Chains A and B, each alone.
Chain A
Amino acid sequence: EPEVTQTPSHQVTQMGQEVILRCVPISNHLYFYWYRQILGQKVEFLVSFYNNEISEKSEIFDDQFSVERPDGSNFTLKIRSTKLEDSAMYFCASSESPRGGYTFGSGTRLTVV
C-alpha cells in the first residue's frame, strides 16, 4: 500500500537553529499538509499546499515556518530559529483530492534543547 514517508523519524536540535523536516507524499497525490502534535495534546493544522503554493495556513504557521516542494517529490517544512516550544511531533499528510481522507506519514519527533 502506498505510504507517505517522513525523515528523519527523530531530530534533536539546539534552540535557535534551523531544521528541515522532509516528506515524500504518495506519488499521485496533489494536496499536501503539515500538522503538529505537541506531546499529549491535539493534532493541529499548520499548512496546506497545492499547485506549488500554500493554499491555507493556520495562525501557528508564522514567519518562522516555510514549506517547499523543491523537486516534484519531496515536500519540506523548514523551521527557523527553533524555540523550546517547537518541540512536537510533526506529521506530513497527502491526499488525492480536496475531499476525503488523508494518508499520514509516521511523523518526525522534533526535540529542541
Chain B
Amino acid sequence: AQTVTQSQPEMSVQEAETVTLSCTYDTSESDYYLFWYKQPPSRQMILVIRQEAYKQQNATENRFSVNFQKAAKSFSLKISDSQLGDAAMYFCAYRSALPHNNNDMRFGAGTRLTVKP
C-alpha cells in the first residue's frame, strides 16, 4: 500500500521569506499524481498544487512550486514570499493513476505552517 510521510509536524517562516515543506512517499507504481492541500483554520481542504508523475517538469502555481524527485520519491513544496494568509496545515497526498475503479487519495500527517509578521 502506498504511504505518504511528512516528517515536519510544524514549520515556521518569516513573512516574505521562503519555506520548504517536505514530503516523501512509498509506492511501487510508476504512474500516479501528487498533491499539496492547504487546510486553514476553517478546516476546508484547498488544493494548492498537483504534479503528474510522468511529467518531469516541476509544477508551479504563482508563489507555490514543487521539487519532484521521482527516483527519490520526494515531493517538497516551496512557498515563496510567504504571506500571513499562508498559515495553515499543509497535507501532501498521493493518488494512483492506474486504471482501478477510483483510486482513493492517501494523505500524509500534515505540517502546520506558522507565518510570523
> Which residues of A pack against B, CB within 8 Å?
31, 33, 37, 41-45, 48-50, 55-56, 58, 89, 91, 93, 98-104, 106-107, 109
Chain B residue nearest to A58 (CB atoms) is B104
Residues of B within 8 A of A33 (CB): 102, 104-105
Is the beta-carbon distance between B101 and A50 smaller than 8 angstroms? Answer: yes
Q: What is the interface of chain A mostly: helix, strand, loop, or mixed? A: strand
Is the beta-carbon distance between A45 and B45 smaller than 8 angstroms? Answer: no
Residues of A within 8 A of B35 (CB): 101
Is the beta-carbon distance between B45 and A91 smaller than 8 angstroms? Answer: yes
Is the beta-carbon distance between B107 and A48 smaller than 8 angstroms? Answer: no
Residues of A within 8 A of B47 (CB): 101-103
CB distance from B110 to the nearest CB of A (A): 6
CB distance from A52 to the nearest CB of B (A): 13
8 cross-chain pairs, A with B, having the tightest CB-CB distances, nearest first: A48-B102, A55-B101, A104-B45, A43-B107, A45-B104, A106-B44, A42-B109, A55-B102
Q: Which of B44, B97, B99 contacts A104 (CB 8 A)?
A: B44
Is the beta-carbon distance between B45 and A56 smaller than 8 angstroms? Answer: no
Q: Which of B46, B91, B102 contacts A56 (CB 8 A)?
A: B102
Q: What is the interface of chain B mostly: helix, strand, loop, or mixed? A: loop
Chain B residue nearest to A51 (CB atoms) is B101
Tell me whether B78 is interfacial, beta carbon within 8 Å: no
Is the beta-carbon distance between B43 and A89 smaller than 8 angstroms? Answer: yes
Residues of B within 8 A of A99 (CB): 33, 95, 97, 103
CB distance from B47 to the nearest CB of A (A): 5
B33, B43, B46 interface centre (most CB from chain A within 10 Å): B43
CA distance A50 to B106 in the complex (A): 18
Is the beta-carbon distance between A98 and B100 smaller than 8 angstroms? Answer: yes
A-B contact pairs, 15 of them (CB 8 A): A33-B105, A37-B43, A42-B107, A42-B109, A42-B110, A43-B91, A45-B105, A48-B101, A49-B102, A89-B43, A93-B105, A101-B47, A102-B47, A102-B105, A104-B45
CA distance A44 to B106 in the complex (A): 8
